[in-house]
């Protein structure tokens, strides 16, 4: 037994020391040290539990679309719409993306707001809004497809309706209770209580909003690639966004004592919990990981870039330029 134990100790030490040597000799990259892993695991679990409730209180696609149209109608009154040719162009590009969504029952509608801000957003029920500034910011139709794919993914992955889902349930329950038990007071109390619950739920689930952005990035990339657009377009547009709008903050200094390391880890974990969007470099990193993970599927294909189409606001579905510089081959 003692010999076995001795061998076990030696093997274990060899394993530990050997792994350290191998890691030291290998290709290393600067790695973050903090509670990201633990926080991510916790947010995963929280999201899984939240999904149980979400799936139990699903609203139908038709109801979701009615809600989206209602909100979009208000948005249309707030913002002026862009020229019709721009609206048509974006709509045609968007329609080419929605063929591969998971929820085909959703009818997507694309709007171009006449605003110079570089932004885009989605509303429940397939209402996709993109600003004129974003339309000018992208350089190719593939990049536009990546942006639209990201917003479509938010709808397709139910990120948008999830924000209103419990609110709708509360409204339904309150209305039903009011009808059954009578009186506005009952309905008011249930609705108020439910709203408080919804608010608490939003605060609690705020931690994994960044994860939703990552998911939308990934599925948006998949939708664009499935539609035949350049897989590099998403990373290009995010890189340019980071160049122009990123903070360009100096990388955090490597902590030189354990206490500073732990303090920095706590600071990072606590600060990032309430961020709705992850840092752009991290999104870029994830997108590259997705591309690497799907490298096998991309091999042998050619994907459209569409510089000409964007310049002349003519979608690829109308006219596809067959020049070499409009395609990327893998």
Partner 1 sequence: MLEVLLVFFLVVVVLPLWFIIHTLSRLSSLRRSLDEVGQSLGAQLAAVRRELVMSRQRYRRLRQRTRRLARRLGLLPEGEGRPAGAPPQPPPPPGSRPSRPPHPERPARPERSARPSRVGGRPRPVPGALPIPPLPSESPPASPAGPPLPAVPPLPAVPPLPAVPIPSASPAPPLPAAAESSPLVAPEPPSTPAPASLAPEIPEAPVAEGPIGAAPPSPIPVPQPPPRPWSARRSRIDPETMAATLESPVSIEPLPGEEGPAAAFGTLDGRPPGMGRRASPTEPPPSGPSWLEQIKASLSGEEWEAVVGGSWLNKLGALILVIGLALFLNYSYGHMGPAGRVATGYVVGLALLGAGLWLERQERYQIFTLGLKGGGWAALYYTSYAVHALEASRLIESPAVGMLLLAGVAAAMIAHALQYRSEPVACLAYFIGYATLIISPRSDYSLLASLPLLASLLIVSYRREWDQTPLLGLILSYVCYALGYGDVFWHPPLSDALVSGKTILVVHWLAFEAFDLLEVARGRRTTGAARAVFPVNAVGFIGVALMHAPSGDPYALPHFLAMTGAAYLVSTIIRAWLRPPAGFDPATPTVERALAGGYEGAVSLTAVLMSVALFLRFTGFRLVAGFLLLAEMLFVTGRQTRQAFLRLLGILVYEVGALYGFHLMVTVEATRELFGLTMKAWTPGLGLLIVVGYLDALLLPGEPAEEFDGQSRAGFSVTATLLAVVCLATNLRGQVHGAAWLALALALLEVAWRTTRPEFAWQAYGVGALAAGTMLIQNLARDAGPDAWEPWVGLALPVLLTGFTAWRLRFRENGNIPLTHLPPVSDLSADIGVGALLALLWHLLPPGLVAIGWGIVAVVIGEIGYGWAWPRLRLHLQVALALTFGRALMANFTLLGETAGLSHRVLTVVPLLALFVYEWLRGEEEAPAPEAGAGDGDAPPGGWPAGEAAAGCSLPGASLPGAMTSAERDWQWWWLYPPTIMAAMLFRFEFGRVGMVTGWALLTAGLVAVGRRARLGHLRAQSYLLAVMTFLRCWGTDFLPPSALPGEFDPNRGDRLLAGAAVVLAFFVAQFQLPRREDPALEGHLTPFDRQFRAAFCVLGAMILTKLIYHEVSGHVLSIAWGCEAALLLAAGFALRDRPLRLSGMFLLFFCILKLLVYDFRNLEGAWRYLSFCLVGALVMGISWAYSRFRDKLRELF
Q: Which residues bind partner 1 (CB under 8 A)?
A: 1, 5, 8-9, 12-13, 15-20, 22-38, 40-41, 44-45, 47-49, 51-52, 55, 100, 102, 153, 157, 211, 214-219, 221-223, 226, 256-261, 265, 290, 293-294, 296-297
Q: Which of 152, 210, 169 is nearest to 55 (CA)?
A: 169
Smallest separation, CB 14 to partner 1 (Å): 9
**149's tokens:** 């794919």
3-state secondary structure of 316: coil
Smallest distance from the beta carbon of 155 to partner 1, in angstroms?
13
Nearest residue (CB) to partner 1, 251 versus 325: 251
Distance of alpha carbon 146 from alpha carbon 232, whole angstroms: 9
For partner 1, give the closer residue by CB, 113 or 128.
128
Which residue lies nearer to partner 1 by CB, 26 or 244?
A: 26
- For residue 304, what are the β-bridge partners? 229, 327
Rounded CA separation 157/169 (Å): 19
Per the CB < 8 A criterion, the answer to whether 137 and 119 are in contact is no
Q: Give least dist CB 149 to partner 1, A.
A: 11
CB-nearer residue toward partner 1: 37 or 324: 37
What is the smallest separation between the CB atom of 297 and partner 1, expressed in angstroms?
3
Instruction: State which residue, 45 or 196, has the beta carbon closest to partner 1.
Output: 45
Residue with tokens 């998911």: 215
Comparing CB distances to partner 1, the nearer of 14 and 185 is 14
Tokens of 148: 């639209």
Buried residues in 243-266 as b, exposed as e (16+ CB within 10 A): eeeeeeeeeeeeeeeeeeeeebbe
Least distance in angstroms from the C-beta of 179 to partner 1: 25
Q: How far is the CB of 94 from partner 1 (least distance, A)?
A: 16
Of 201, 213, 192, 231, which Cα lies nearest the Cα of 272?
213
CB 173 within 8 A of CB 194: yes
């Amino acid at each position: 037994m003692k010999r076995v134990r001795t061998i076990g100790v030696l093997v274990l030490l060899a394993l530990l020391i050997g792994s350290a040597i191998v890691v030291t000799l290998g290709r290393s990259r600067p790695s973050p040290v903090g509670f990201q892993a633990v926080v991510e695991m916790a947010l995963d679990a929280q999201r899984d539990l939240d999904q149980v409730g979400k799936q139990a209180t699903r609203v139908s696609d038709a109801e979701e679309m009615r809600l989206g149209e209602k909100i979009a109608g208000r948005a249309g009154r707030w913002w002026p719409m862009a020229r019709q040719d721009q609206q048509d162009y974006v709509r045609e590009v968007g329609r080419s993306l929605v063929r591969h969504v998971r929820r085909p029952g959703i009818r997507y509608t694309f709007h171009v707001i006449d605003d110079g801000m570089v932004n885009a957003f989605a509303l429940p029920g397939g209402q996709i809004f993109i600003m004129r500034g974003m339309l000018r910011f992208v350089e190719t139709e593939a990049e536009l497809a990546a942006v639209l794919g990201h917003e479509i993914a938010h709808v397709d992955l139910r990120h948008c309706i999830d924000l209103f889902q419990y609110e709708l349930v509360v409204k339904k329950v309150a209305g039903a209770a009011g009808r059954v038990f009578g009186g506005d007071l009952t309905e008011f109390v249930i609705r108020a209580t439910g709203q408080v619950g919804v608010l608490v739920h939003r605060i609690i689930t705020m931690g994994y909003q960044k994860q939703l952005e990552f998911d939308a990035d990934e599925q948006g990339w998949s939708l664009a690639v499935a539609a035949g657009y350049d897989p590099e377009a998403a990373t290009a547009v995010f890189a340019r966004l980071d160049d122009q709008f990123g903070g360009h903050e100096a990388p955090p200094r490597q902590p030189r004592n354990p206490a500073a390391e732990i303090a920095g880890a706590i600071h990072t974990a606590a600060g990032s919990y309430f961020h709705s969007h992850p840092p752009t470099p991290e999104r870029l990193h994830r997108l590259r990981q997705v591309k690497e993970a799907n490298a096998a599927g991309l091999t042998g294909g050619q994907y459209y870039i569409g510089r000409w189409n964007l310049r002349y606001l003519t979608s690829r579905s109308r006219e596809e330029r067959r020049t070499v510089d409009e395609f990327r081959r893998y």
